[in-house]
């Protein structure tokens, strides 16, 4: 019998989709696939492929189940005592700033709230920073500079009802797929709606673009600087709005004219055709209902705040803010980056959208919390924090639900910092991440579907993440662990919450405390809500002040902002390029980003085999001209070297990236690949105002790796491949699947010996040798079960090992007539699907080609035949190139 | 009517006579002369007969009754002793004289009795004829039998004798069995399998001396470094010697065997030779496939048509039930060849393909020989296999799915 859905919220990107989950009837049963919540205002039933695969990620593999100290399992009591003793000692000896939290946009608002409260009010340090620093810190500072508050003015509906959507620094098709699908659907319904993509790369998002400006990396601000000039010269400045609601226009305009005096200058500065720029400026001048949609491509920059303000300036000048279908819309990367901002969970915030510098704020918060040890000034932002750690100033760090060994720039520095730090506490769901490897104390945390609380998405919508499944082992909620330490530090009464509801209510009360409209963030309506009301909470957009339970769709409709004079500020912007420029020694610019089916450092998506099919290995996208000039080979290996480190990646030849530029996805960690942490290459260059690193920019050198021997390995047990030049573990349904490479064919024998030794397998091996095709394959079967399989090839090969992986399933017998197939790679009659394009329905390129050959002439027809593209739709941009004739774009 | 006399009523001679009698366009008077009491039987099946897998009735190769009805003169147990090519006549052991217009040598071959001291013992025999099988079948129980030679014939004899309950030891000079058909890897799989049937093997070894008892029978042998072994029967299966004595006597050009051209003509324009006794382009023939093709050529030649014999690779199989083995073409690669190898020892499955310049030139299959005929076809047709090299060893099904 089908059970009723339980509603919760997706833990991936900042879209914050509602998810329906059916609980298994018995404890041990797997959770059935989830579906989109049709009533949730973020997604109205849609889910992307990552969200659709959530139930697959709920597995016990590598789950952290017990606390440990220096690798030895221990009790929670012992661990918490050790932590509180050490905090007490370092605070006594070195002051409160010797302690720091490094948190995550993945944790819930309630977790954030107690961490922020403990540090800033009770230990007395503002060293509370978070991986959100890497995501949207620049957008926060820019909003605050312009609006006097960290307020996202828009809502998702604006994306559907605008007439011009400028997407800049965002590959939403892959990073925010549900919003992208909503935009694509709206555009189809309203064909006059124009979409402009500004991005150095031709991303999947360009699929719906009427205009793509492939700008020089980091030159975005000039476009908006010029748009401000053009608004003035074209006479589209909203004079009344400017006079009533803004200040600083003249200065900003003067600065803009100085920086971008003409269209031709700007086109040249940005490296785009003049007519394309003119097209954008014409559309901009003609279109009141314009939304600028921006994300990490803008934020992750040494001038990220200025870029955001350049965008906001244009919207202020034209009065395109606070109106339906208009506004500067920062889209956050994480499910609860906004929640973190709300509680003040950044080192340059105090609490509840108040800063240390906000007049009266410290006193207000101190009184509300009855706090004994208030911090009085900004703490250390992420990169500064790890530098202070290396310098010995921060002696205890508590890292929660994040993987800085992969995500922060200059991994080598992060390693040095964590090695130097006297006590590294890591709370996580996973046993083995690059960061848990650095921990002195490991605390098992609850994960998605176990955690209970709230998150806030990119449109200020607060939704419940519900604790639907029991916590495994000794996993505990993060807020609980923090409160237990707080109590041991002597702060009993301030941290004796019974549950997440208690915390949320207090958080709501603080937001409303002595607010009366002075602060944007006010959810006072919830300060007296009951547990039952909390459990039943429906998605709602803040502010939700007392008496306004429906929340607030759009901000600033009244032209009133949160500065002292209630006027928005123009900020004079002089566009600057990224700090490091390519030169003879470092001739390539590295851009970074994401792939469609992975999330962050793969700690969750890495559990789902189906999500690895779209892109199974880390790669570097290089223009064919550079591939040729460097003697690289498509699908072969390249070494990327920067002044900070190296990586080895697969070469992906692509015209999406311009010559001289390369692109690499950020996801792979040392838990999945030995040489593929992209942050290794990134310098610790940050925006001076937001502290956000320039993670999308490094200058590097590329080196071909000549004549390696490639291999594919399947094993029923995990293998130590540290002797290999390159390895990547690819999530698989059964056993362990590795793609590997050795420096040369001469190393194969030694590698085989090593693997035989590791596995202790000395049985008869099946072998296949083919010097003509450079193939060498071997497999070991024990009692007719496949236990180890090695395929070597001297050329890169894209083999589908699905059938072989299925043979790693426990109790799976290899039948007599299947033995040949073990080394052939598949059953003779098995269909070779080709490269998987549609992850939702596992439809491959060869099936699509076949369907096109049989007459399918549109994406819709393909969907009807093969189902591809009919679930999350994120593969639609990749389906189109299969069509015999490209669909004409509307002019 | 042209008189055609065929010397030898083994497989080649009998089959030729039948072809000429039933399928030739020419009007011919045919005489088939045999040395053995039985003529026209299928020599290939002797191993199966020995192994008691078939009965006498399954041994028939040609329909002697039908041939006689068609006027073929069939003479058994009366070998030719003299030929006068000038007078175009043959004289039989019985003294009978037969005239011919065209004479065909189909004298076959005899077992190669190695020149080992004591090999003249009366219990040393070959394995060529129905009589040989009869003799082996008549052995007392549980004898010690030594087979000299681990080629196809020797192994078939060994298996047949083991199945009859004898203790069999096979001596083989080469380091591995069937060294003309298999490589060491395939041979070791075969050996393992045969060892499970309790055949004993002495590889890289051969008897150095046969010791006789008082009756003149071999009772012991010496081998290796002087080891001794008790013996009740010795089977010589160390190759065959083409039967050329008569031909030489008749003055025909003979090398290893009777030299023939592509029309099977010997150095005498009215005399032909085919089967195991002939030599064409320095090759002799022990397998039926080329011999059938020689018969077809000669049938046409005798009817006055143009026909050419060409050498094609011929697959070999071991006729031992339960053992699947297939070998064709060039199996010893040289420097210009490449080998594709599949080996699954625990499943007794082995494949080796020899490829030269994008074409398959040789194949060894052991265990699973289903793809043998397909590989044989690729070799015969000289099919370009470049596009399927990376799946070739997995067989036809894989290569077809790739083409589709």
Of A39-53, A158-172, A821-835, B374-388, give the lowest mean pLDDT range: A821-835
For residue A831, the model assigns a pLDDT of 62
Residues B94 and B192 in one domain: no
Question: What is d(CA A209, CA A193) in angstroms, rounded to the nearest whole number?
Answer: 10
**In this structure, are residues A205 and A197 in contact, taking their beta carbons and an 8 Å threshold?**
yes
Instruction: Answer whether residue B314 is part of any domain.
Output: no
Q: Which of A764, A769, A829 sits opposite B346 (nearest CB)?
A: A764
Q: Which residues of A touch B401 (CB under 8 A)?
A: 828-830, 832
Q: Which of A768, A775, A816 sits opposite B347 (nearest CB)?
A: A816
Which residues between 321 and 360 in chain B have a beta carbon less than 8 angstroms from any beta carbon of chain A? Answer: 338-347, 349, 355
| Choices 3.40.50.620, 3.40.228.10, 1.10.10.10, 3.20.20.220: CATH for A137-330 | 3.40.228.10
Length of chain A: 891
Interface with chain A: mutation pick from B391, B395, B402, B403, highest number of A CBs within 10 Å: B391
Exposed/middle/buried for A655, CB within 10 Å: 0-12, 13-18, 19+?
A: exposed
Dihedral angle sign, alpha carbons of residues B38, B43, B48, B51: positive
Is 80 exceeded by the pLDDT of residue A566? Answer: yes
Interface with chain A: mutation pick from B348, B393, B395, highest number of A CBs within 10 Å: B393
Residues B191 and B89 in one domain: no
Residues B201 and B152 in one domain: yes
**In this structure, are residues A128 and A119 in contact, taking their beta carbons and an 8 Å threshold?**
yes
**In this structure, are residues A284 and A290 in contact, taking their beta carbons and an 8 Å threshold?**
yes
What is the signed CA dihedral for A57, A58, A63, A66, rounded to 10 degrees?
150
Q: Which residues of A touch B337 (CB under 8 A)?
A: none
Please, which pLDDT band fits residue A885 given cuts at 50, 70 and 90? low
pLDDT tens by residue, A179-209? 999 999 999 999 999 999 999 999 999 999 9
Residues B143 and B190 in one domain: yes
Is B347 within 8 Å of A819 when comparing Cβ atoms?
A: yes
Is A819 within 8 Å of B345 when comparing Cβ atoms?
A: no
Residues B163 and B222 in one domain: yes
pLDDT > 90: what percent of chain A? 84
Is 80 exceeded by the pLDDT of residue A840? Answer: no
Rounded to an integer, the average pLDDT of A549-576 is 96
Q: What is the number of alpha carbons within 13 Å of residue A460 lying toward its C-beta?
A: 23
Question: What is d(CA B349, CA B368) in angstroms, rounded to the nearest whole number?
Answer: 6
Q: Which of B339, B344, B393 sits opposite A766 (nearest CB)?
A: B344
Distance of CA B99 to CAs A821, B2, B70, B88, Å?
63, 11, 19, 6
Q: Which of A763, A816, A824 sits opposite B391 (nearest CB)?
A: A824
pLDDT tens by residue, B79-133? 999 999 999 999 999 999 999 999 999 999 999 999 999 999 999 999 999 999 9
Is 70 exceeded by the pLDDT of residue A743? Answer: yes
Q: Which residues of B touch A766 (CB under 8 A)?
A: 342-347
Domain map of chain A by residue range?
A: 1-59, 68-135+337-541, 137-330, 588-704, 709-824, 836-882
Residues B364 and B284 in one domain: no
Among residues B192, B212, B236, which one ends one of the domains? B236
Name the nearest CA neighbour of A834 among A790, A842, A795, A713: A842
Is A769 within 8 Å of B339 when comparing Cβ atoms?
A: yes
Backbone angles phi, psi at A477, to 5 degrees: -65, 145
Q: Where residue B345 sits, what CATH number does that domain have?
A: 3.30.390.30
Tokens of A187: 């555009």
Question: What is d(CA A143, CA A14) in angstroms, rounded to the nearest whole number?
Answer: 17
**In this structure, are residues A836 and A613 in contact, taking their beta carbons and an 8 Å threshold?**
yes
Which residues are B359's β-sheet partners?
A: B356, B384
Residues B8 and B32 in one domain: yes
Of A189-193, A745-749, B237-241, B313-317, give the lowest mean pLDDT range: B313-317
Is 50 exceeded by the pLDDT of residue A890? Answer: no
Nearest-Cα distance to chain A for B203, in Å, is 24
| Choices 2.40.30.10, 3.30.1330.10, 1.10.10.1100, 3.40.190.10: CATH for A836-882 | 1.10.10.1100
Please, which pLDDT band fits residue B402 given cuts at 50, 70 and 90? very low
Is A772 within 8 Å of B343 when comparing Cβ atoms?
A: no
Question: Is the link from the previous residue into A788 a cis peptide, with omega within 30 of 0?
Answer: no
For residue A2, the model assigns a pLDDT of 47
The vertex-A410 CA angle with A407 and A412, nearest 5°, equals 105
The vertex-A21 CA angle with A19 and A25, nearest 5°, equals 175
Cβ pairs A/B, distance under 8 A: 66
Q: What is the number of alpha carbons within 13 Å of residue A335 lying toward its C-beta?
A: 24
Tokens of B268: 């005498």
Interface with chain A: mutation pick from B183, B333, B346, highest number of A CBs within 10 Å: B346
Nearest-Cα distance to chain B for A825, in Å, is 10
Is B394 within 8 Å of A821 when comparing Cβ atoms?
A: yes
The tally of domains found in chain B comes to 3
Residues B28 and B130 in one domain: no
Exposed/middle/buried for A509, CB within 10 Å: 0-12, 13-18, 19+?
A: middle
Q: Where residue B153 sits, what CATH number does that domain have?
A: 3.50.50.60
Q: Look-up: residue for tokens 């175009």?
A: B88
User: A826 or A304: whose pLDDT is higher?
Assistant: A304
Length of chain B: 404
A588-704 architecture in CATH? Beta Barrel (2.40)
First to last CA, chain B: 57
Nearest-Cα distance to chain A for B51, in Å, is 28
Please, which pLDDT band fits residue A322 given cuts at 50, 70 and 90? very high
pLDDT > 70: what percent of chain A? 98
Residues B156 and B186 in one domain: yes
Q: Which residues of B touch A768 (CB under 8 A)?
A: 340-343, 393
Domain range for B355: 324-403
Nearest-Cα distance to chain B for A787, in Å, is 15
The vertex-A343 CA angle with A340 and A344, nearest 5°, equals 80
Q: Which chain B residue lies closest to A763 (C-alpha atoms)? A: B346
Instruction: Answer whether residue B17 is part of any domain.
Output: yes
Interface with chain B: mutation pick from A710, A712, A768, highest number of B CBs within 10 Å: A768
Q: Which of B338, B340, B394 sits opposite A824 (nearest CB)?
A: B394
Distance of CA A382 to CAs A98, A117, A347, Å?
15, 19, 8
Rounded to an integer, the average pLDDT of A270-289 is 98
Tokens of B19: 């072809």
Distance of CA A646 to CAs A403, A641, A705, A707, B89, Å?
19, 4, 13, 19, 93
Residues B213 and B291 in one domain: no
Q: Which chain B residue lies closest to A777 (C-alpha atoms)? A: B342
ipTM above threshold 0.90: no
Interface with chain B: mutation pick from A770, A819, A853, highest number of B CBs within 10 Å: A770
Please, which pLDDT band fits residue B370 given cuts at 50, 70 and 90? confident
Is A769 within 8 Å of B395 when comparing Cβ atoms?
A: no
Is A764 within 8 Å of B390 when comparing Cβ atoms?
A: no
Of A575-584, B28-37, B208-217, B316-325, give the lowest mean pLDDT range: B316-325
Among residues B186, B221, B236, which one ends one of the domains? B236
Which residues are A293's β-sheet partners?
A: A167, A329
According to DSSP H, which parts of B147-275 are helical?
A: 152-163, 184-196, 245-249
Is A820 within 8 Å of B390 when comparing Cβ atoms?
A: no
A1-59 architecture in CATH? 2-Layer Sandwich (3.30)
Q: Which residues of B touch A770 (CB under 8 A)?
A: 340-341, 389-390, 393
Please, which pLDDT band fits residue B403 given cuts at 50, 70 and 90? very low
For residue A710, the model assigns a pLDDT of 96
Which residues are B201's β-sheet partners?
A: B170
For residue A845, the model assigns a pLDDT of 86
The vertex-A623 CA angle with A619 and A627, nearest 5°, equals 80
Domain boundaries A68-135+337-541, corresponding CATH code: 3.40.50.740
Q: Look-up: residue for tokens 């009951």?
A: A530
Rounded to 10 deg, the angle between the A274-286 and A220-233 helix axes is 50
Q: Which residues of B touch A832 (CB under 8 A)?
A: 401
Residues B84 and B165 in one domain: no
For residue A832, the model assigns a pLDDT of 67
Q: Which residues of A touch B398 (CB under 8 A)?
A: 824, 828
Tokens of A374: 């208030």
Residues B192 and B291 in one domain: no
Q: Which of A768, A773, A828 sits opposite B398 (nearest CB)?
A: A828
């Amino acid at each position: 019998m089908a059970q009723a859905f339980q509603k919760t919220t997706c833990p991936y990107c900042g879209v914050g989709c509602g998810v329906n989950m059916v609980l298994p009837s018995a404890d041990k049963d797997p959770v059935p696939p989830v579906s989109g919540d049709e009533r949730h205002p973020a997604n109205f039933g849609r889910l992307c492929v990552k969200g659709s695969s959530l139930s697959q990620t709920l597995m016990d593999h590598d789950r952290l189940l017990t606390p440990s100290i220096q690798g030895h399992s221990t009790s929670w009591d012992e661990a918490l005592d050790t932590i509180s003793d050490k905090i007490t000692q370092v605070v006594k000896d070195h002051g409160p700033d010797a302690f720091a939290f490094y948190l995550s946009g993945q944790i819930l608002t309630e977790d954030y709230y107690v961490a922020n409260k403990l540090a800033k009010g009770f230990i007395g340090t503002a060293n509370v920073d978070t991986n959100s620093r890497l995501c949207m810190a620049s957008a926060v500072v820019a909003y605050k500079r312009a609006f006097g508050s960290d307020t996202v003015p828009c809502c998702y509906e604006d994306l559907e009802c605008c007439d011009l959507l400028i997407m800049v620094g965002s590959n939403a098709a892959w990073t925010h797929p549900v919003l992208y699908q909503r935009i694509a659907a709206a555009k189809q319904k309203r064909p006059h709606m124009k979409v402009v993509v500004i991005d150095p790369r031709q991303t999947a998002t360009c699929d719906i673009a009427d205009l793509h400006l492939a700008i020089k990396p980091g030159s975005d601000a000039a476009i908006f600087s010029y748009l401000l000039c053009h608004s003035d010269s074209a006479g589209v400045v909203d004079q009344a709005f400017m006079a009533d609601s803004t200040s600083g226009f003249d200065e900003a305009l003067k600065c803009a004219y100085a920086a971008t005096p003409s269209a031709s200058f700007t086109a040249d500065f940005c490296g785009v055709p003049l007519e394309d720029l003119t097209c954008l400026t014409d559309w901009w001048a003609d279109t009141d209902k314009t939304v600028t949609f921006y994300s990490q491509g803008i934020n992750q920059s040494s001038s990220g705040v200025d870029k955001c303000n350049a965008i906001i300036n244009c919207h202020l000048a034209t009065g395109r803010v606070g109106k339906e279908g208009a506004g500067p819309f920062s889209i956050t990367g994480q499910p609860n980056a906004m929640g973190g901002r709300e509680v003040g969970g950044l080192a340059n915030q105090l609490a509840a959208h108040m800063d240390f510098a906000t007049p009266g704020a410290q006193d207000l918060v101190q009184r509300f919390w009855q706090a004994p040890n208030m911090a009085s000034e900004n703490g250390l932002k992420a990169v500064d924090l790890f530098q202070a750690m290396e310098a010995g100033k921060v002696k205890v760090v508590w890292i929660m639900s994040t993987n800085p060994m992969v995500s922060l720039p200059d991994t080598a520095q992060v390693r040095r910092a964590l090695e130097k730090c006297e006590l590294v506490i890591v709370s996580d769901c996973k046993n083995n991440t690059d960061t848990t490897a650095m921990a002195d104390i490991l605390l098992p945390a609850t994960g998605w579907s176990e955690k209970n609380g709230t998150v806030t998405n990119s449109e200020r919508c607060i939704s419940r993440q519900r604790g639907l499944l029991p916590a495994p082992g000794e996993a505990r909620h993060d807020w609980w662990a923090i409160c237990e330490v707080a109590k041991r530090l002597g702060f009993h009464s301030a941290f004796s919450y019974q549950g997440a509801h208690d915390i949320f209510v207090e958080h709501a009360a603080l937001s409303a405390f002595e607010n009366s409209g002075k602060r944007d963030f006010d959810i006072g309506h919830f300060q007296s809500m009951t547990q039952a009301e909390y459990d039943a909470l429906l998605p709602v957009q803040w502010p939700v002040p007392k008496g306004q339970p429906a929340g607030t769709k759009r901000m600033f409709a009244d032209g009133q902002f949160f500065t002292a004079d209630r006027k928005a500020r123009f900020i004079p912007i002089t566009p600057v390029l990224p700090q490091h420029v390519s030169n003879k020694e470092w001739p390539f610019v590295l851009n970074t980003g994401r792939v469609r089916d992975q999330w962050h450092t793969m700690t969750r998506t890495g559990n789902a085999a189906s999500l690895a099919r779209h892109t199974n290995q880390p790669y570097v996208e290089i223009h064919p001209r550079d591939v040729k000039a460097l003697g690289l080979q498509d699908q072969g290996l390249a070494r990327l070297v920067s002044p900070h480190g190296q990586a080895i990646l697969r070469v992906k030849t692509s015209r999406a990236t311009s010559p001289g530029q390369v692109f690499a996805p950020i996801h792979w960690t040392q838990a999945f690949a030995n040489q593929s942490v992209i942050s290794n290459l990134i310098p610790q260059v940050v925006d001076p105002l937001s502290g956000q690193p320039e993670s999308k920019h490094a200058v590097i050198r590329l080196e071909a790796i000549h004549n390696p021997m490639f291999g594919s390995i399947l094993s029923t047990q995990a293998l130590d491949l540290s002797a290999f030049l390159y390895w990547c573990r690819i999530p698989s349904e059964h056993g362990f699947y590795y793609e590997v490479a050795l420096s040369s064919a001469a190393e194969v024998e030694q590698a085989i010996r090593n693997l035989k030794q590791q596995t202790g397998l000395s049985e008869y091996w099946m072998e296949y040798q083919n010097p003509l095709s450079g193939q060498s394959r071997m497999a070991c079967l024990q009692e007719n079960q496949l236990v180890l399989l090695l395929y070597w090839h001297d050329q890169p090969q894209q083999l589908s090992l699905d059938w072989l992986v299925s043979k790693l399933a426990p109790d799976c017998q290899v039948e007599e007539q299947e033995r040949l197939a073990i080394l052939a790679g598949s059953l003779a009659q098995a269909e070779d699907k080709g490269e998987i394009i549609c992850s939702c329905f596992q439809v491959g390129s060869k099936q699509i080609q076949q369907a096109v050959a049989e007459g399918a002439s549109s994406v819709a027809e393909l969907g009807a035949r093969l189902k591809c593209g009919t679930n999350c739709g994120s593969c639609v941009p990749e389906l189109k190139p299969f069509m015999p004739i490209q669909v004409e774009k509307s002019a | 009517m042209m008189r055609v006399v065929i010397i030898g009523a083994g497989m080649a001679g009998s089959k030729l006579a039948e072809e000429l009698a039933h399928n030739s366009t020419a009007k011919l008077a045919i005489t088939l002369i045999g040395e053995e009491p039985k003529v026209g039987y299928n020599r290939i099946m002797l191993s199966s007969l020995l192994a008691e897998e078939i009965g006498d009735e399954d041994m028939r190769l040609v329909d002697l009754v039908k041939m006689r009805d068609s006027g073929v003169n069939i003479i058994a147990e009366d070998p030719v002793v003299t030929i006068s090519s000038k007078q175009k006549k043959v004289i039989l052991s019985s003294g009978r004289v037969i005239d011919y217009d065209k004479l065909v040598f189909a004298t076959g071959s005899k077992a190669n009795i190695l020149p080992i001291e004591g090999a003249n013992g009366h219990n040393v025999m070959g394995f060529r004829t129905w009589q040989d099988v009869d003799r082996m079948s008549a052995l007392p129980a549980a004898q010690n039998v030594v087979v000299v030679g681990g080629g196809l014939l020797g192994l078939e004899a060994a298996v047949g004798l083991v199945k009859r309950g004898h203790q069999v030891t096979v001596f083989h000079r080469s380091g591995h069995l069937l060294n003309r058909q298999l490589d060491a890897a395939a041979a070791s799989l075969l050996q393992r399998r045969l060892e499970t049937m309790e055949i004993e093997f002495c590889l890289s070894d051969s008897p150095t001396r046969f010791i006789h008892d008082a009756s003149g029978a071999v009772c012991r042998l010496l081998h290796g470094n002087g080891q001794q072994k008790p013996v009740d029967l010795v089977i010589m299966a160390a190759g065959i010697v083409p039967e050329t004595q008569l031909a030489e006597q008749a003055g025909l050009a003979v090398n290893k065997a009777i030299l023939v051209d592509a029309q099977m003509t010997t150095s005498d324009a009215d005399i032909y030779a085919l089967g195991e006794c002939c030599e064409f382009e320095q090759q002799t023939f022990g397998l039926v496939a080329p011999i059938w093709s020689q018969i077809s050529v000669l049938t046409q030649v005798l009817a006055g048509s143009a026909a050419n014999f060409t050498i094609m690779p011929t697959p070999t199989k071991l006729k031992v039930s339960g053992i699947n083995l297939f070998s064709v073409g060039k199996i010893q690669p040289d420097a210009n060849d490449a080998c594709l190898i599949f080996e699954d020892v625990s499943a007794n499955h082995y494949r080796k393909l020899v490829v030269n310049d994008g074409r398959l030139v040789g194949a060894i299959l052991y265990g699973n020989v289903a793809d043998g005929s397909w590989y044989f076809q690729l070799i015969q047709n000289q099919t370009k296999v470049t596009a399927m090299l990376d799946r070739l060893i997995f067989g036809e099904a894989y290569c077809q799915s790739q083409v589709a």
